[in-house]
Structure formats: C-alpha cells, structure tokens
Chains A and B, each alone.
Chain A
Amino acid sequence: DTAVSQTPKYLVTQMGNDKSIKCEQNLGHDTMYWYKQDSKKFLKIMFSYNNKELIINETVPNRFSPKSPDKAHLNLHINSLELGDSAVYFCASSQDTASGGEQYFGPGTRLTVT
C-alpha cells in the first residue's frame, strides 16, 4: 500500500498551459504539504494544510493554487505555466503535532515546461 501517492509522475507541457498535480495519503495524517525541488536539489516548502485549512503559503505566486477537498487529498493547480516552474514537486504528509513530526513524502512529479 502506497502511503503518499502523486499523479502524474511526469508532466511535460508548454508555457502558458494550466496543469494539475494530485496527491493522496492513506496514513490518516492531518497535515499535508507541497514542496518544490529545483535542479540544484534545493527543497522548498510551498504550502502547508492542516485539516483542509491553509496554514502556510510561502510567498508562492498566485498562479499556484492548492486545494484540499478532504484531509487525505491535496491537489496543486498551476495556471499559466512558466519555464521557471520546471522542477520536481513533492507532496508530503505528517501527523499534526505541535513540534513537527516526521514527514512522509510522495514519489514526486517531474514537471517540465517547454
């Protein structure tokens, strides 16, 4: 059983298009995250959701819109894709603890914008 799954695994698209990435976790966690990992392997948090509510938005352009229909799902929609959006996007989840528990990561979605 996959704990955190993402679809699609690869996404190749042209500038200006709109695309979505889906994430699901079956761990019963309350908190989910989106991260962006660039070509230099820097991993940066984009959003954090707790019980379907947005907790952290790390100055991400508003072309990126996360949506959490329920605790187990956190999707990422990206409008008007730009070349600089090319990266690997990771979804993660953790149990809601005050001190920050371990995170479980999905396999990643490699987005290539041409």
Chain B
Amino acid sequence: SQQGEEDPQALSIQEGENATMNCSYKTSINNLQWYRQNSGRGLVHLILIRSNEREKHSGRLRVTLDTSKKSSSLLITASRAADTASYFCATVPGTYKYIFGTGTRLKVLA
C-alpha cells in the first residue's frame, strides 16, 4: 500500500500543552503537506514543506522533514480546544498525485 503512516493514531492532551504527530512515507517526494479535518468537515491545508527544506514554521505550527528517513513531524505548540481535529500528512510524489496518511486524531482537553 502506498498509504503513509501516522503516529500516534490518537492523542489526548491538556490545553496549553504541545502536540507532536509523526508521518512516515514510502516514496520520494516533491513536497509534503499537512491538513486538518474537523469532524464532519472537509480537509483544510495547514502547511507545505518542500523536499529541499528541513523545517518550516507557521504560527503555532512547526513542521520538520527528514527525507533520508522518509518522515515528517508536526508540532502544535500551546494547544487549544479548537485544535481538536484529525491531522493528515499528504505526500506529493509527482504532479497531480497526493498520498494521504492514516491520520492522527487529536483531542485537546479544556
């Protein structure tokens, strides 16, 4: 299967704590993207990191990419209840094709 793997599958933390989720993939990539999905909604793009980049920041989000290990991590700092959602990584091995990971369900407790 080409499906990427994310871990943990589920994560429960207290508001204010940091949340880290990991993504591993199998093929070489052009870029890797992270998306958020709130319950019953469509996915929302969070951040894109290119294959020649190692780290990227956007607000409270920090993404790292290690192409030698074919892995990426998403760190959400100072989490809020509104961050409760499922988070997916998507790898782009070539034009027009996106391979999504299995997702991490994050629950932030107020």
Contact = CB atoms under 8 A, between A and B. Distances in A.
A100 B42 contact: no
B97 A105 contact: no
Given A48-B97, A100-B98, A90 B42 contact: yes
Interface residues of A, number: 28
A42 B3 contact: yes
Contacts, number: 71
A40 B97 CA distance: 21
A74 to B, nearest CB: 13
Nearest to A101: B48
Interface in A47-77: 48, 50, 55-56
B41 interface: yes
Contacts of B97: 45, 48, 56, 100
B68 interface: no
Nearest to B105: A41
A56 B96 CA distance: 7
B48 A43 contact: no
A34 to B, nearest CB: 12
Interface of A: 4, 31, 33, 35, 40-45, 48, 50, 55-56, 90, 92, 97-108
Interface of B: 3, 30-31, 33, 35, 37, 40-45, 48, 50, 86, 88, 90, 92, 94-100, 102-103
